Homo-oligomer: A and B are copies of this chain.
Amino acid sequence: MLSSTNERRTAPQNLDLVFKALGDQTRRDLLARLSEGPAMVTELAKPFDMSLPAVGKHLRVLEKAGLIERSINGRVHQCALNPLPLKKVEDWLEHYQKFWSETLDALSEYFQNDADNENNV
């Protein structure tokens, strides 16, 4: 990890790029695959009903968003998940967390009452 040679270590982690990268099912599938371990491009492309260049483009989008890192070894490009931009997403989400817990609290209370009524509690 973090080869000493030539790797760019300042992943952009721009939220625009990250969210846009995540806004595509194919790319989320690629991330899911990479969450099980690194893989080369052809390997990543195999499950998709799509040309290799198309998958290559998706990988580039993920890479520009900082979500994957690529280490080139001969003719093989090994891709690995970089989870840090996802942490940025979570940091962003944090501010909104209270809102949905409020909402869900209200809902669960609602359904709790429902259940209470049906169970004659």
Contacts and interface: CB of A to CB of B under 8 A. Distances in A.
What bracket does the count of chain A residues touching chain B fall in? 35 or more
**How many chain copies does the complex carry?**
2
Q: Which of A13, A100, A118 has the largest count of B CB atoms less than 10 A from its CB?
A: A100
A117 B120 CA distance: 50
A9 B82 CA distance: 36
Contacts of A84: 100, 103-104, 111
A73 interface: no
B35 A95 contact: yes
A88 to B, nearest CB: 9
A107 to B, nearest CB: 8
User: What does DSSP make chain A's interface, helix, strand, loop or mixed?
Assistant: helix
Q: Across chains A and B, which 8 residue pairs bring their CB atoms closest together, nearest first?
A: A19-B23, A83-B99, A20-B23, A83-B100, A87-B100, A19-B22, A86-B96, A19-B19
Interface of A: 2, 9-20, 22-25, 28, 31-32, 35, 81-84, 86-87, 89-90, 92-93, 95-97, 99-100, 102-104, 107, 110-111, 114, 117-118, 120-121
